[in-house]
Chains A and B, each alone.
Chain A
Amino acid sequence: MNVSYYPGCSLESTAKPYDHSTRSVCRLLEVELHEPAGWSCCGSSAALKMDRLLSVSLAANNLALTEKERFKDVLAPCPFCYRRLLSAQQEITGDPALQAKVESTIDSELRGDLKVLNTLDFFRNRVGLERIQSKVKTPLNGLKVLPYYGCYLLKPQNVTPFDDPENPVSMDEILASLGAEVLDWDFKTECCGSGLALSKTEKVVELSARLIGEAVFRSADAIVVVCQLCQANLDMRQHEIGKLHGAKYRVPIVYLTQLMGVAFGIGAKSLGLHRHLVNPQPVLRRYKG
C-alpha cells in the first residue's frame, strides 16, 4: 500500500518517537510512506487563532504539494495537522470565492480531493484489524491500557466524522487486537490543555491532573495516545500534578504506534521507548519477543 505522509513539525523535532514508531510499524505492515518534498507547517493553533486566510493558505499549500504526489490518501499522524488539512480542504471546496483567494495566495491550484487520514482511521480502517493482528508476535496479554484520543481527532464532528466524538472506539479495537486489556474511562476525548503548555502551564497541569489521577485510580499500566501534545503534556507534568495531589506519579504515556511495534516484535530503540520522561520500558519488558 502506498500513501503520502505529512509528518508535521513536531514529529521531526520534539515527537521523534511518534514519527519513528509510525515508520517502523508501517514498514512491517508493507505500507510505503511518501513524504512530499518541501512541506511546511500547517499553521497550527497559532495561525488558526490569529488569521483565517493565513491559516487556510498554509494548510492549503501543503494540500497542493501533496496532490502532486500520485496517491489519493495522505496520512497525517499529528491530530492538529490532520484537522487543519481536512478543514482547509472542506472550507475551500465549499466556497469558490475562498478557493480563488487561497489559490492566488499560494500560487497553486487545488483539486481538493485528497483523503486525509489520521493514525486511527488509517490503521483501523485502511490497514484493518485482521492485518494488524496477523503481524502480532507477542500479544500484549495482561497489559492494562487506557485509550486517550484527545480532542482534535474527533471534534468538531462535522470536520472529523470518522468516529464518535464522545465515546470513540477505534483505538480500543486496535489495542484489543494487539491483545491488550482495554480499560474503560470517561476521559477519552477530554482536553489535556493542548497548546497552552507554555503560556498557561497551570491550566495544563489542572486539566492533565484529571487524566493522570483517573489512570492511577484505575490501576492502568499506561495511557495510550495518538497526539504528541497529549504525550508531552501528560508525560512532562506528572511532577507538578503529583505536587497538586500530594502524591508521586509515574504513569507511562505511550504512542499507539509504539505499542503496535512492541507487539510486532520491533526493538525498543527503534520505537523511541527510551525517550520519554516516564520510562515505559519496565511495564513493557515482559513483551520482549
Chain B
Amino acid sequence: MLTLKGTPSEREFLHHVIRESGQNLLECLQCGKCSGGCPITSNEVGGPRRLIAEILSGMKEAALGDPTWWYCVSCGTCATRCPVEINMYKVSTVLCEIAGKEDFAPSEPDIHRFEELFLKSVEEHGRVEELQTAMIFNLRSWKPFRDATKGLQLMLKGAISFKDLLPGKKAKQTEAGRIFEKVRRDKDSGAAI
C-alpha cells in the first residue's frame, strides 16, 4: 500500500473518490491510453488521465471544475483499454455526486441542464418524454428553433408525432417517482450505501 502524502483534506478527497467509485486510482500508471481513446478529450476538455492526476494530487477544486466528467458519455473505452481496468464513468458519477452535494457550480451548464430535465421527465412520467425534454431544453437554452426543420421533416415522415411535444398528463404517482423520492429521503438522512 502506498503511503499518501498531502494534507488530510486532500487525502480524504482521494480516498472518498476511490471508496465510492470502487476504482483504485492509486494503480493508475498515467499511461494515457484512456485519453488517447476517449471520444470527448480535446484541447478544451482535458480527458481522463488529467482528471485522475488532479484527483491523485488532491486538487479537489480542479477535479470538480474539470469538464471531462460532465462530457463523459460513459462509452467505456477507457475501462476497456486501461491496463489496470480503471472505469472512469464510475468516477464521473462520484464527482457529480460530490459537486451536487456541495453546490459546486457545474462547469458545463448545458449538459447539467439536459441531464436534470431528462430525470425530471422520468420522475414525472415513469418513462422519459424524449421530444418534450428536447423542446424544454431548447427553450431553456434560448434556442427555441434548434433542429426545428429536422423535427418538422421527421414529423412529416411520421417518425415522431406532434402530440408527443405537448405536455402530457402527469402520472399521479409513478413507480419511478417513488424511487426518486426514496433515494432523496435516504440522501437527506445521510444514509450511505
Contacts and interface: CB of A to CB of B under 8 A. Distances in A.
Interface of A: 9-10, 12-14, 16-17, 38, 40-41, 43-55, 57-58, 61, 97-98, 101, 105-107, 151-152, 155-160, 165-166, 189-191, 193-196, 198-201, 203, 207, 236, 272, 274-277
A17 B154 CA distance: 12
A225 to B, nearest CB: 15
Nearest to A279: B157
Given A46-B115, A195-B73, A53 B183 contact: yes
A52 B193 contact: yes
A199 B119 contact: no
B16 interface: no
Given A17-B159, A49-B92, A54 B179 contact: yes
B118 A46 contact: yes
A46 B80 contact: no
Given A9-B127, A195-B73, A236-B150, A47 B119 contact: yes
Given A194-B73, A275-B157, 20 more contacts: A40-B122, A40-B175, A41-B128, A44-B122, A48-B89, A49-B70, A49-B72, A53-B193, A55-B93, A61-B175, A198-B138, A199-B110, A199-B137, A200-B111, A201-B146, A272-B159, A274-B157, A275-B154, A276-B159, A277-B153
B57 interface: no
Interface residues of B, number: 62
A144 B150 CA distance: 27
Contact of A49 (B93, B174, B176, B186): B93
16 contacts: A14-B130, A40-B127, A44-B122, A46-B118, A46-B122, A50-B93, A50-B100, A106-B179, A151-B75, A155-B79, A156-B87, A166-B80, A191-B39, A191-B73, A194-B75, A207-B39
B71 A46 contact: no
A272 to B, nearest CB: 8
Interface of B: 20, 39-40, 70-77, 79-80, 85, 87, 89, 92-94, 96-97, 100, 108, 110-111, 113-116, 118-119, 122, 126-131, 134, 137-138, 146-147, 150, 153-154, 157-160, 164, 174-176, 178-180, 182-183, 186-187, 193
Contact of A199 (B94, B114, B182): B114
A14 B160 contact: yes
B159 A53 contact: no
B75 A49 contact: no
B164 to A, nearest CB: 6
A196 B75 CA distance: 12
Residue in A47, A160, A198 with the greatest tally of chain B CB atoms within 10 Å: A198
B97 A51 contact: yes
A258 to B, nearest CB: 13
Contacts of A98: 193
A277 B159 CA distance: 9
A24 to B, nearest CB: 16
Given A44-B118, A236-B150, A13 B73 contact: no
What 10 A-B pairs come out closest when comparing CB atoms? A155-B76, A156-B79, A151-B75, A191-B39, A156-B76, A275-B159, A46-B118, A46-B115, A40-B126, A194-B73
B73 A236 contact: no
